Amino acid sequence: MMASVWQYILAGVVVGAIYALIAAGFVLIYQVTGLINFAQGEFAMIGAMTAASLAGAGMPTLAAAGIAVVAAAVTGALCYLLAIRPARAATGVTLIFITLGLDVALRGLGLFVWGTNPLSLNAFSGGTAVTIFGGVLPPQALWVLLTDVLVFGALYLFFRHTYTGTAVRAAVANPPIASTFGIPLRTFAFWSFVVAAAIGGLGGVVIAPITSATFDMGLTFGLAGFVAAVLGGLESLPGALVGGFVLGIIVKVAGGLLSTGWEDGVGFFILVLVLVLRPQGLLGRAVRRA
Amino acid sequence: MHGRIGLVLLVAVAAAVWVLPSYYTGLLTQIGLYALVTIGLNLFMGYAGQVSLGQAAFFGIGAYASAALAVKLHVTPWAGMLAGALLAAFVAYVLSFVALRLRENLLALATLALGIVINVVFNQWEFIGGSSGFKDIPGFTLGAYTFDQRAYAVLAWALLVLGLWFAGNLVRSSFGRSLVAISAGELGAQALGVDAERLKRQTFVLSAVYAGVAGAVYASQQSYIDPSSFDFLLSVNFVLMSVIGGIRSLSGAVVGAAAVVALKQMLQATVPLVLPGARGDFQSFFFGIILIAMLIYLPRGITGRFAEARRA
């Protein structure tokens, strides 16, 4: 019993790492544009499906992975240019519906391009599974965790130690004033979509060898990323990281103990609880309401 | 006014079902039921300025309540319809304490999540059939007469006309004006003495009643339901109907439902000719594009467009 719970926890850490990546994308876009991008999970789908189909056609796995991340980033750029920017003047609910439209459009696109059959992708490397206290992690799980370290490390360095990163933080803190100092808000909005899409795509690519890739994986991953972002308070990258792992572990343990069919239900139940009890997220400080 | 147009529509539908092939009669029923759901959604989203991405769940609750009663306890679908509406209303009432504390982004997220949780419950609860749902759901009867597809079309549109009439009166009452005040600014509305929380809750519950009634009729008309009939894509379709027709419009709900149903038929007929491999819910690609295009170029929907033209 305890051994299987430990194994569920390890499995939760692995998917949690992916949720954290997708949550990071949400947080980036939300911080820079104030927009919740319901299409976020589809970037993971595009990444996973592109990599799996290219590798299936004979391309080396790492090359296919690289192209897949670029494909996801280009998709993100197109989403911003074709759907978000033309509707800048719109209000909150309209923008929600637009990203919802993007979500179903991308999912439909995935169905057109790749069909309904799941595609598989080889693990990035061979090697034997790692055993930790009797629980097993496949080699690909290490790639997943390494990806998280690299992505969150890079984001940290960018925001804390580069001039542009500081400018983005200024733009987030106070858009009008940042704008008067010549900070290009719209350019940042564009790049937030590109980077969020690339990170999401990368998440899809590294998880594909574990879960396989299907055209409809985006909704599940997108919503899980969402819940992770909300757990983390929606405005913090470290929060997204923690939220991803917390959610992954809870979902996998609950799914393992109940039945896997309940996984989505548990995830969203937690979302609702957090929204009601701690809208500032697990790590966030309560904001005094006026 | 809506009432009179509605009666004309009802007579037209009742006449049409005698000449149309039964396939098209089924589509008419579908339009009527979807429009009913969309009216409720428009009250909640268009008039009260809220957002719900989980309306398919209430449609599903209505369908499941009626189907479960009819299959397990042999209760007549007429009572099942009432039970479906009541159960949907009850669930919406309970959920409103959670959901309606949130705004815009988070409300969208919460309703989306609730819709999916309810779908998971449909899938996992073996008592209501689990993933295989209900088969052979008894139909509506009147005395010795069992409804055929023509009768369902008339029933659906009769309910639609009733729903339009009620909603039309509602939006012209002080209730409706208060809703519009809430959508313009909740604090401002409260300052004018509008009990925003209560009105939002009542509207949410009412939207669930519309969806629950439609769902109950749907279950008997299809005689078969499973959880995939009430998934996230259906909720998106309801939003699309609402946006196409015009979100703050009641007749728009009918226009939107008709447009989406017609569009879906057209796509299913034409796309496989161009792309023989196309299978599954590929319409969602076009629906997504259309949703985006509508919001960018025609944010007030088809009926909103006409209303502007009339004023100009």
Confidence of residue A220 (pLDDT cuts 50, 70, 90): confident
Structure confidence by residue, pLDDT tens digits, B157-185? 999 999 999 999 998 998 888 888 888 88
Residue B299 in contact with partner chain A when CB distance is under 8 A: yes
> Which residue, among B214, B254, B164, B201, has the nearest Cα to B59 in the 3D structure?
B214
Contact status, residue B178 vs residue B27, Cβ threshold 8 Å: no
Asked whether the predicted pLDDT for residue B1 surpasses 60, the reply is: no
How close is the nearest chain A Cα to the Cα of B91, in Å?
A: 15
Q: Do A36 and B53 touch (CB under 8 A)?
A: no
Residues of chain A whose beta carbon is less than 8 angstroms from a beta carbon of chain B are 36, 38, 82-83, 86-87, 90, 92-94, 96-98, 100-109, 111-112, 115-116, 215, 219, 223, 226-227, 230, 259, 261-262, 264-265, 268-269, 271-272, 275-276, 279
What does the pLDDT look like over A94-111, one tens digit per residue?
888 999 999 999 999 998
What one-letter code names the amino acid at A228? A
Q: What's the angle, vertex CA A198, arms to CA A195 and CA A200, rounded to 5? A: 110
Assign A138 a pLDDT band (cuts: 50, 70, 90): confident
Q: What is the mean pLDDT of residues B185-190?
A: 85
Give contacts of B289 with chain A, Cβ < 8 Å: 101, 105
Q: How confident is the model at residue B312 (pLDDT cuts 50, 70, 90)?
A: very low
pLDDT for the residue numbered B79:
92
> Is B243 within 8 Å of chain A by CB?
yes
> At A290, which amino acid appears?
A
CA distance A66 to B216: 50
The answer for A127, left when phi > 0, alpha when psi is -120 to 50, beta otherwise, is left
- Third-level CATH fold of B2-311: ABC transporter involved in vitamin B12 uptake, BtuC (1.10.3470)
pLDDT tens digit sequence for A222-247: 888 988 998 888 888 888 999 999 99
Residue type, B206: L
Contacts of B296 in chain A (CB under 8 A): 83, 86-87, 90, 98
CB contact under 8 A, A112 and B291: no
Comparing alpha-carbon positions, the chain A residue that sits nearest to B118 is A265
Which tens digits make up the pLDDT trace of A152-195? 999 999 988 888 888 888 888 888 888 888 888 888 889 999 99
What sign does the CA torsion over B10, B14, B15, B19 have? positive
H runs (alpha helix) in chain B: 2-19, 22-42, 55-73, 77-99, 104-124, 149-172, 174-184, 186-191, 196-222, 232-245, 251-274, 283-297, 301-311
Domain ranges of chain B: 2-311
* HSE-up of residue B308 (Cα within 13 Å, Cβ side): 10
For A131, the enclosing helix (H) or strand (E) is strand A130-132
Distance, in Å, from the CA atom of B112 to the CA atom of B250, rounded to the nearest integer, reads: 23
Determine the angle formed by the axes of helices B22-42 and B2-19, rounding to 10 degrees.
Answer: 160
- Summarised one tens digit per residue, pLDDT across range B64-105 is 999 999 988 988 999 999 999 999 999 999 988 888 888 788
- Chain B partners of A269 at a C-beta cutoff of 8 Å? 117
Is B108 within 8 Å of A116 when comparing Cβ atoms? no
Look up residue B225 and give its DSSP letter: B
Which pair of structure tokens corresponds to residue A123? 């693990």
Q: B189 near B47, Cβ under 8 Å?
A: no
Name every chain B residue with its beta carbon within 8 A of the beta carbon of A88.
Answer: none
pLDDT for the residue A290: 36
> Mean pLDDT over residues A65-88, rounded?
92
pLDDT at A53: 93
Residue B225 has pLDDT above 90, yes or no: yes
Q: Where are the alpha helices (DSSP H) in chain A?
A: 2-33, 40-56, 61-79, 92-114, 139-161, 163-173, 175-180, 185-211, 217-231, 237-257, 263-277
Give A-chain residues touching B283 at CB under 8 angstroms.
Answer: 108
Q: Is residue B280 left, alpha or beta, with left meaning phi > 0 and alpha meaning psi from -120 to 50?
A: left
| B114 at interface of A, judged by CB pairs closer than 8 A | yes
In the block, tokens 């299913």 appear at: B268
> Which chain B residues are closer than 8 Å to A37 by Cβ?
none
pLDDT (average), residues B265-284: 79
Cβ <8 Å between B295 and A227: no
8 Å CB contact of A230 and B281: no
pLDDT at residue A44 in the model: 95
Residue A100 with chain B: CB contacts under 8 Å: 53, 108, 236, 239, 288, 291
